[in-house]
Every structure is written in structure tokens, then in C-alpha cells.
Amino acid sequence: MLTLNISQQYAKINITTARADMRLSTTRPQLMIDTEPAVVEISQPKGELEIDWEPFWSSIGLKTPSQFSRDCAELGRQTAMETIARIAQDGNRMAAIESKEDAMVAMAADSTLQPVPEVVWAHLEPPVIHYTARPPVFNPSPGSVKYNFVRGTVNMDYLPAQVNISMAQYSSVKMWVTDNSVDINV
């Protein structure tokens, strides 16, 4: 008898995979700041002080040449007027015969008498003071801020996943016939 033999070999697939890989490397960002402070320069010019002592010195009798000349002229005028008045009074005294006074002797006696000194309280004038103030001088210079920014970086190295498929064994079907007859005649 004939026997049909069938042998089957299944296909085999070889699959190799590699995982995806991502490598990240970063550099940090940097901010560099340089500042310069504000500066204010202040200077104070000196003021001017003017003191006029002329009224004070005049009030105590120390005068400028022009004032002294004016005062001497006024004193001379006043003395001349007083002298004229005294001479007129002496003339009237000598002319008064009815008074029965020896006018010449009386006038001579009066001229020997010293007048009593007179104390006069005088006002002293203060000096004239004038001050001119100068305002302060401001010279400001503004501050500054300088900065430099360096961006950070991100470096990415990406390896995609890999899938390799290969046939390790192909499928096959084998068929053959065998004879299974047995001879019984022996």
C-alpha cells in the first residue's frame, strides 16, 4: 500500500528590536549684570559778606575825610553864629547903663569860669551788614545697568527605535509517498 507522507515546516521569523534612546544635555543660561552707581557732586561756593563800618565809626567820631570836612564846616558855621550872638549880648550888656553894673569887670570874670562839662549819651550806629548767599551747585550723573544675557542650550541626541525582521526559517511542505506493502509470502 502506498502511504502519502506530508512533512510541514513552519516559517520562523527572527525579530530584533532596539529601544529608542534620547540623550539630552543642557547648558545653563547666564545673566551677567554690571552696575555703575549714580553720583552726585555737590559744591558750595562761598557767599560774600560785606560790612560797612562807616556809620559805626562816624557815630564814635572817627570819620572819613569827606565827612570830617562836612562836620568841620558845620561846626565852624555854628561857632560863628554863637560868637556873633555872644558879641551882640556883650554889646547889649555894656550898653545897659541903667543896670549899674561894671560890665567889663563882669565879662572878664565870666570868661575865667570854665563851663561844666556835659555828659551826653550818644547812640552808636550799627555797621551795615550785607550777605550775598550763593546757591549750591549740583552735578548729578546717572547710574547705569549693563547686562549680557547668554542663552542656555539644549542638545538632543535621538536614536529612533529599530525593528529588524528577518526570516530565520522559511515554511515548507514536503510530500512523499512510501510503499508500505508487506509480502506475506515468505
* Position 73, amino acid: A
Contact (CB, 8 A) for 42 and 135: no
Report the chain's mean pLDDT, rounded to a whole number: 88
By the 8 A CB rule, do 28 and 164 touch? no
Q: How many helices (H) and strands (E) does the chain have?
A: 3, 12
pLDDT at residue number 110: 82
The string of pLDDT tens digits covering residues 73-107 is 999 999 999 999 988 988 888 888 788 888 888 88
* pLDDT reported for residue 79: 94
Say what the pTM is.
Answer: 0.37
Give residue for cell 560868637: 83
40 close to 143: Cβ distance less than 8 angstroms: no
Note the pLDDT of residue 130: 93
What is the enclosing helix (H) or strand (E) of 50? strand 48-52
In a 3-state reduction of DSSP, which class is residue 183? coil
How far, in Å, CA of 185 to CA of 155, rounded? 89
Q: Which three cell numbers, joined as nine digits, stand for 18?
A: 532596539
Task: Kindly state the DSSP code that residue 46 receives in the 8-state scheme.
Answer: P
Residue ranges of the chain with pLDDT lower than 70? 182-186
